Structure 1
Amino acid sequence: MPDTALHDLRIIELAQGVAGPYCGKLFADLGADVVKVEPPEGDHARRAGPFRNGEPNPEGSGLFLYLNTNKRGVTADLATDDGRAAVLGLLAGADVLVTDMYEDELLTLGLDYEDLRGRFPALVFTSLTPFGRGGPHGSYRGNAFTVYHSSGLGWETPAQQVRDPANQPPLAPGNPQADYFTGVTGAAATMGAIFQRESTGRGQLVDISGQEANANHVRLTISGVVHTPDLVPPRAKANFDFLVPCSDGYVFLTPYNLDHWWERFQQIMGSPEWAASDAFLTAEDRGLNCDAIEPLVHMWSMQHTRAELYQMALDIGIPCFPVYSPAEMMESAQFIDRGFLESVEDPEAGPYVRPGPASLFERTPFNQDGRAPRLGEHNDELVGKPTEDAPVQQAGDRRPAHRRAAGDLPLSGVRVADFGWILSVPHSTAWLGALGAEVIRVESEQRLDLLRTMGLTRGSGGIPGIERSGNFNGLNYSKHGVTLNIQTDRGKELAKELVSRSDIVTMNFAAGVAERLGLGYEDMKAVKPDIIMMSGSPLGQTGPESHSTGWGPTTLAYTTLPYVTGYEGGTPSSMGGAYPDFAIGVHMAFAMMSALRYRDRTGHGQHIDVAMGETVVAMTPEPLLEWTMLGTDPQRRGNRDPHRAPQGVYPSVGDDRWVAISVEDDAMWAGLRSALGDPAWASDPSLDTVEGRQARHDDIDRELSAWTAERTSHEAAEALQAAGIAATPVLDGPELVQDPQLRHRGFFVDIDHPEVGVTASAGIPLWFSETQLHYGSAPLLGQHNREVFTDLVGLEPEEFERLVRDSVIV
């Protein structure tokens, strides 16, 4: 048996498309035995393509092949007794069921959680649906498009590029990103439930709402609505656009946010006189004058190629990445050096290139070598055969003794030394903290987290202060906090002392910084041989471009996602919600829990290298598959979809109010006609097929817009959902915070902060039937210094006080 992280798990995947299969893929590629159950006609991703030479082939769909690596596959007709019996037989030997079927469908089949829990008490039942179970919208139909627009992300996309709101509606990404978010959220939550089972012997329902999984990415907006509502920006452009034109395309460039970046940027521009203006001295000044600065920067940038700008930015350490097409991304020296893009020769699909893994495990790497199953390939092996007995759970708590004593949550007794800052790593450790881990956030007064400093200008309730940042407090709950100057020798020693008492250590320093500080993985392993270390960065810890500097949103340019996202005929577009930082954080949480499970079984720790760019490409396979299988360059198409029509965002009553509608198939088109009152324009028989509707999409859009413009977005969505049509209001931040579905499901949690008081924060986007997550306040700066350094690390009180005076613990 190969040495894989999760080979002792068996997952039954009763799901189609993207969200459920991506969840299953993350397990399968780390060694779990994932059995995919398809209907007799197959997963609809088999019909999505792309196909070799454009010729449909259910065994040669690029998307299906990518999402279903390393799985075994069976078919079952759930409308029959034999089909349902086949699923029950598979569940007898399973640890987890992953399904994207709606609750009402499962109840009809007798395969819902309540039907199964008595028969399979140790089964973790993971449900992935657009709006989750229960609540006023639990039965709403949806897909990646409507989920994205229901979450606040659509409202914010494109970020800082909307100059004409009436003619630039909220925008969806160029691939079903929302489903990938839902899938990885399901994977991370499932790992939490598996850890919980170690203490109780029982499985539970893991209920994932696509809306919540996507709203997780607008956490900063939610914090703004709660803490500083007067400062929540409009959808129209109000700050710098990341997109900067060059002589041969575009880069994402942000030299404006920090003063030292702006100083360096002036130098590479040749120190023009205009850039030294007193009006541009501070980041706040520059933001207020962005419309004056941008044209002047663009006059300079247009004189250079993307490669020239990227190299200049690399040399001086400011965030800049070229906007790559799929063909250009394939030439990336960084991806080539790291072997990230994988060439495949498939007998049905022919040669193509797919993304590599979302993260690199040093000891138990993701592996995609196992081909996706052919339709029904393993029926003879698995269906109707005697199954293994259900996993036997030993009586009592199976965790190590020190973890049993620490508490009853999934990760109780796990200690995390968190050296991360800003967004992605802190979000990953907030997951671990909410699941019960003791997370010790290590900060320094010499280098305050940028989210803390936002409290100085955007303090909660309009009161400035580094403890009053809604963004910091809403991202760093359930943690302890210490301060440590790791630039000093004694500070480095104390960091290692803390790590020697920890299970996991996290960092997102620029590549090479930890090693230069003497805090790299080999240094950590020397003091704690079984340590798990997770490093996050824009492009990874190795490779010729590993020293790149970047925010998540600028790194996005490298991944082809902005290239395929945008209005038809328009420019590449950036995404809302500080994307992709929080998606990266969820992947990190899944990776760390997977490594922890492996260490519990074998005693071996390992290093995990998470490169933002690679993780996003792993969630954006479609452009790369289309280019390498068909040789076509994907085009920006706004809110439309090649497989659905009509689909779009339509105006409704009110200023800049919109409703998102997606007609998935011909049956849903019939429902739309009925909901509209069977108007004469819709009775044309040519519209009864998706091809006919695509051909007349503009005509349909005009008629639909006239209908929606007479209704509020909520009225329109409710009327359409009553007819079984995927539709949702496009929610902005304030509407999101008041959304009845999110409130019903408890997505917002009230946390009592010692300085700010009780306020609402976006919680971890999951719901467990048996486990109550832990939400404690974000720490004050250095709040737990004495507790951690004396009680845990073992400093004598006199030495502690001396190190405080010497600005080591500071």
Structure 2
Amino acid sequence: MPPAKEGRVEMPQLPLSELRVVEIGSGDALGYCGKLFADFGADVIKVEPSGGDAARKIATLVDAGNGRHESGYFAWLNTNKRSLSADLDRPAGVAKVRALLESADLLLDARHPTVINASPLSHENIRRSQPGLAITAISWFGERGPYRDYAVTDSVCRSLAGLVKLVGPIEGPPVLPRDGQIGVVAGLTAFIPSLAGLYARDHQGARRFAVSALEAMLQISEFDTALALESGFTRPRIGINRFGRGFPVGNFATKDGWLGVTVVTPAQWVAFCNMIGLPELGPDPRYSATAERYLHAEELNGIIKPVLMHRTAMEWFQKGIELRLPLAIVPDMRELLTQPVFRERGTFAEVTIGSASFDAPVLPQHLTRSPPRPNGRSPLAGEDDDAALPAHRRLASRAATADDPLPLKGRRIIDLTMGWAGPTATRQMGDLGADIIKVESCQYPDWFRGTDPRGPYHPERTYEKTYWFQMNNRNKRGITLDLTTETGLTLLKRLIRDADAVIDNYAADVLPRLGLDAAKMLAINPRLLVVTMPAFGMTGAWSGCRAYGSTLEQASGLPSVTGREGDPPTMVHAALGDPIGGLNAAAALMLGFMHQKNTGEGQHIDLSQVECMLPLVAPSIIEQSVTGKSSVRIGNRHPVYVPNGCFPCIGEDQWITLAVRSDEEWQSLCRIMHRPDLAADPLLASAEGRREEEDRIEVAIRHWTSTVRPDLAMVTLQAAGIAAGVARLPMDLPGDPHLVKVGHWQSVDRPFMGPHLLPSVAYREGGADLPYAIEHLAPTLGQHNEEILSDLLGLTKPEIKRLRHDGIIGNVATSKQSKAKVAAE
């Protein structure tokens, strides 16, 4: 093997060091998926056209030396990779890639599906000659469906995914966040099944997956979809500094800096009122319930805002940690890069390309025995054309078939998670065949079964009827154990003894107080993966911080770069932190499984959910690091596409998002709007000229869109090759024609719930038209107690009966008043 190039550190203990991955195509999702492989040790070879990937020229640019200017964001996405030049429209380029694939384990292919099918390097041709090569195709809309060939941008995809319309001023327009987030979500979504397939490749063969970025983004909007399906309506757009259905939830100015607040439960409201020195507000019946505070938001704003100005954001935040309140400092990019809590955890590290260097986020999968490379060197285009690749032998020799089990079949995960983030992680694993044992207690069920135990919660068992619990807990088995008792803890330890992994998403101090910290669990089972995922990780001054998904978004700094200049830091009105944390935890589990398989060792995976959010803000972090400042917020406008925005259509609160990406598309838009005067205006012929006249152009667009139905506007613009998408509401998604056609929604029937719809995975295996069928619906409380306790732990029927009598296990949620009754039953 030739010596490693400067900056490329060979670390054979990394979980993926035995893999070779080839990337074809372009895009953020491809880059981020490949980065996950490369930074964890895989030999990743990026195939670029002569002259390099066009994304190398997207700002922010860094001076790489010798007159070369490279995209800092592109460099971050491609750390620790090789770059080979090959033009796939020429026979020589095709032959070069075909030879390269002969030694690869996985092909990551981001070419458009129609391009793939028409190419000599079609997947059908490749698999015919190389059945042992795993393939993952990554595209905006998948390989089938009416949107497959649509022109698209990040904002168009977000709009179709139901992630735009609820954000922004009440009167509109909805707010379009900055680019870069979809690539992270889709890249993670592609990485998880790809690595699961490689994990089982030696005995199951190589798998082919096709990943849809649109369906990946539905993992974020599905919570609001569930709420809409349950209630029959979607919450309204409530303003730029409000969040969700509660209050106070948003960003508040303080004496110095912005404070992110998320107060949900009655106890949190009382604690918050005590913290700000207004204890009389806590028990006030006008404000004690979440719904009442929501209705009195403006009145409460008038009371709360002046009080918060008496202290700094840091002072309030520190009080919040003491009171176990979900508060956050909302930093700008300069503050974010200098916060000691991140520097001490190694959250940022240097990226180099050519002679340039800058800081950027490190991958957040903090495996304590096998952490990722802390960023590193990114190759210049074609840098490895003349280098000899080290020999590599592919392990798989055949393609997986329909007779092969799912790749994680036989792996067992003890799921101690609640809510959204942790259950999302284990859902990913369950979808791929792992045996997930969800542990709740009758005294404290998963809070996604309901946060308010008053009213019908117990007598009508509403905890069995919440829609969002069903979505997050499919393909799992459920058990109840009272972990506040020695018996319950002992039974959990027995389950851990033979498990492959255990995961919790409690605050950092919860399980250690029960005597179940990572070290103690590893003492029980040295090959165990122990995944913890509090807001700021298990170490550091802020490890005790409580958080919801909104808290994580606030702490990541994302609101400081979203929206319009002069507005408060702007939230995206979907609890991003939860599904993003869940996807990252699932990726961490897969990486841990690979290390476990290679070495037989277990380890603690110390995940910080705030750090999981930082890749979504990486373009802005890199801009700050490179230039020393952040660009002003430009609202719905775009740094490259002109015009770009979300415009009103005919009907009440109807909107269309569109982007003009070229001068030719501008001419097409003028024809559609019947504006030959604009088409002929020389001032508007170029993007630079149109940017000077953006106000005038947007008036013209609004005049046309306000006369057209949004779906018709989308179809008309797409027919002309213009990227456009309807700003869907979450409740629109079950009826979206593309999602219906590709089978994203599966009809199921569960006790207490009756018939309802559940979402599918965001990928298809092989050439399948439909996703994996949902094998098991979310468990009712304690549904599998007898099955698990008898089959896995060998308990007898009398022993199980005694556990039920003592309230250690059960099938009914218990209040203080009903515990005695349940025990008697």
* Cα displacement (A) at 1:264: 1.4
Cα contact 1:198–1:397 (8 A) shared by 2: no
1:323 correspondence with 2:330: yes
Given the superposition, is the C-alpha separation of residues 627 and 223 from structure 1 closer, same or farther in structure 2, using an over 3 Å criterion?
same
CA contact (8 A) 2:353 2:378 kept: no
Partner of 1:777: 777
> 1:109 offset after TM fit, Å?
2.6
Indicate conservation of the 8 Å contact 1:59/1:348, yes or no: no
Kindly state the Cα deviation for residue 683 of structure 1 after the two structures are TM-superposed.
Answer: 2.3
1:140-171 deviations in Å (ceiling 9; x for gaps): 1212121111100112324xxx3x32xx2222
Query: What SS does the aligned partner of 1:582 have?
Result: helix
> What's the counterpart of residue 436 of structure 1?
433
Whether the 8 Å contact between 2:747 and 2:756 is mirrored in structure 1 is yes
Per the normalisation by structure 1, the TM-score is: 0.93
- 1:48 matched to 2:58: yes
Q: How does 1:497-536 map to 2 (within 5 A)?
A: 497-536=494-533
* Aligned with residue 706 of structure 1, among 686, 703, 707: 703
Match of 2:618? 621
Aligned position for 1:227: 230
**More displaced stretch, 591-600 vs 318-327:** 591-600
> Closer, same or farther in 2 for the Cα pair 1:455/1:304, shift >3 Å?
closer
Residues 68, 569 of structure 1: alpha-carbon distance in 2 compared, 3 angstrom cutoff: same
CA–CA distance in structure 2, aligned partners of residues 554 and 330 of structure 1: 18
Match of 2:242 in 1: none
What is the correspondence of 1:552-591 to structure 2 with a 5 Å cutoff?
Answer: 552-591=549-588
Count of residues in Structure 1 that have an aligned counterpart in Structure 2: 789
Partner SS for 1:73? strand
Equivalent residues of 2:133, 2:396 under 8 A apart = no
1:212 equivalent in alignment to 2:212: no
Tell whether the 8 Å contact from 1:54 to 1:630 is kept in structure 2 after alignment: no
Quote how far apart the aligned CAs of 1:308 are.
1.2
Q: 2:72 aligns with which of 48, 51, 62?
A: 62
Preserved CA contact (<8 Å) 1:458 1:464? no
CA distance in 2, matches of 1:46, 1:202: 32
Equivalent residue in structure 1 for 2:313, among 306, 330, 343: 306
Alignment of 1:539-688 (within 5 A): 539-677=536-674, 679-688=676-685
2:238 is paired with a residue of what secondary structure? coil
For residue 758 of structure 2, give the secondary structure of its aligned residue in structure 1: strand
CA–CA distance in structure 1, aligned partners of residues 64 and 562 of structure 2: 23
Question: Quick one: distance in 2 between partners of 1:452 and 1:342?
Answer: 40
- Counterparts of 2:772 and 2:277 in 1: how far apart (Å)? 57
Q: Which moved more, 1:61-70 or 1:122-131?
A: 122-131
Summarize the Cα distance change of 1:661–1:767 in structure 2 as closer, same or farther, 3 Å threshold.
same
* TM-score under structure 2 length normalisation: 0.91
Counterpart residue number, 1:340: 347
Whether the 8 Å contact between 2:75 and 2:353 is mirrored in structure 1 is: no
Q: Does 1:200 align with 2:207?
A: no
User: What is the distance in 2 between the residues matched to 1:724 and 1:317?
Assistant: 52
**For residues 628 and 699 of structure 1, what CA distance do their matches in structure 2 show?**
35
Decide which of 96, 101, 116 is 1:106's aligned counterpart: 116
Stretches of structure 2 lacking an aligned partner (at least 5 in a row): 1-10, 240-244, 811-825
- Residue 115 and residue 701 in structure 1: after superposition, are their counterparts in 2 closer, same or farther (change >3 A)? farther
Q: Deviation at 1:276?
A: 3.8
Letter paired with 1:217: I
Instruction: Give the conservation status (yes or no) of the 8 Å contact 2:246–2:294.
Output: yes
Residue 129 to residue 344, structure 1, CA distance change in 2 (3 Å)? closer
Deviation at 1:648, TM superposition (A): 0.6
Percentage identity across aligned positions?
Answer: 31
User: AA paired with 2:223?
Assistant: L
* Deviation of 1:412 (Å): 0.9
- Give the RMSD, CA atoms, in angstroms: 2.5
What pairs up with 1:88-103 in 2 under 5 angstroms?
88-103=98-113
Worse overlay, 318-327 or 99-108 = 99-108
Match of 1:35 in 2: 45
In 2, the alpha carbon distance for the partners of 1:196 and 1:486 equals 34
Separation in 2 of the partners of 1:191 and 1:156? 34
Q: Secondary structure of 1:548's match?
A: coil
Match among 233, 242, 262 for residue 250 of structure 2:
242
Which structure 1 segments of 5+ residues have no match? 399-403
CA distance 1:679–1:343, shift in 2 (3 Å): same
Q: Secondary structure at the match of 1:759?
A: strand
Identify if the C-alpha distance between structure 1 residues 196 and 806 changes in structure 2 by more than 3 Å, giving closer, same or farther.
same
Contact 1:454 1:469 in 2 (8 A): no
1:364 partnered with 2:370: yes
Query: Secondary structure of the residue that 2:286 maps to in structure 1?
Result: helix
Deviation, 1:696, is 1.7
Q: Which residue of 2 aligns with 1:139?
A: 149
In the alignment, does 2:286 pair up with 1:279? yes
- Note the 1:706-785 alignment, pairs <5 A: 706-769=703-766, 772-785=772-785
Q: For 2:721 and 2:32, how far apart are their aligned partners in 1?
A: 26
Q: Match for 1:186: what amino acid?
A: A
Cα shift readout 1:293-350 (whole Å, capped 9, x = no counterpart):
2221112112221111111111111011011011111221211221212245665324
CA contact (8 A) 1:52 1:630 kept: no
Match of 1:449 among 441, 446, 451: 446
Identify if the C-alpha distance between structure 1 residues 396 and 717 changes in structure 2 by more than 3 Å, giving closer, same or farther: closer
Tell me which residue corresponds to 1:786: 786
Query: Secondary structure in 1 aligned to 2:472?
Result: coil
Matching residue's letter, 1:329:
L
- Helix, strand or coil: the match of 2:436? strand
Relative to structure 1, the CA distance from residue 56 to residue 629 in structure 2 (aligned partners, 3 Å threshold; closer, same or farther) is: farther
Task: Find the counterpart in structure 2 of residue 800 from structure 1.
Answer: 800
CA distances 1:749-797 after superposition (whole Å, capped 9, x unpaired) = 2232122123101222222126835431100111111111122112232
When residues 396 and 68 of structure 1 are mapped into structure 2, their CA distance, relative to the original with a 3 A threshold, is: closer
The verdict on how the C-alpha distance between 1:479 and 1:663 changes in structure 2, with shifts beyond 3 A counting, is same
What SS is found at the alignment partner of 1:328? helix
Task: Tell me the CA shift for residue 290 of structure 1.
Answer: 2.6
* 1:556 to partner: Cα distance: 1.3
Match among 263, 270, 288 for residue 295 of structure 2:
288
| 2:424 corresponds to 1:414 | no
Distance 1:356 1:720 in 2: 39
Are the equivalent residues in 1 in contact too, given 2:139–2:211 (CA < 8 A)? yes
- What amino acid does structure 1 have at the position aligned with 2:316? L
Residue type matched to 2:39 in 1? D
Q: Deviations over 1:547-604 (max 9, x none)?
A: 1011021121121211000134322111232212112211211221121122122212
Partner residue in 2 for 1:150: 160
Deviation at 1:195, TM superposition (A): 4.0
How far apart are residue 191 of structure 1 and its match?
A: 1.9
2:127 corresponds, among 112, 117, 138, to: 117
In the other structure, the counterpart of 1:401 is: none
Alignment of 1:372-387 (within 5 A): 372-381=378-387
Q: Residues 809, 141 of structure 1: CA spacing in aligned structure 2 closer, same or farther, 3 A cutoff?
A: same
In structure 1, what is the Cα distance between the partners aligned to 2:798 and 2:708?
70
CA contact (8 A) 2:210 2:765 kept: yes
Q: Partner of 2:96: helix, strand, or coil?
A: helix
Output the CA distance in 2 between the equivalents of 1:86 and 1:396: 23
Cα contact 2:176–2:645 (8 A) shared by 1: no
Look up the SS of the partner of 1:264 in the other structure: helix
Cα contact 1:185–1:208 (8 A) shared by 2: yes
Q: C-alpha distance in 2, partners of 1:56/1:30?
A: 31
For the structure 1 residues 182 and 545, does the alpha-carbon distance in structure 2 shift closer, same or farther, using more than 3 Å as the test? Answer: same
- 2:589 is aligned with what amino acid? M
Which amino acid is the alignment partner of residue 362 of structure 1?
Answer: T
Bigger CA drift: 765-774 or 307-316? 765-774
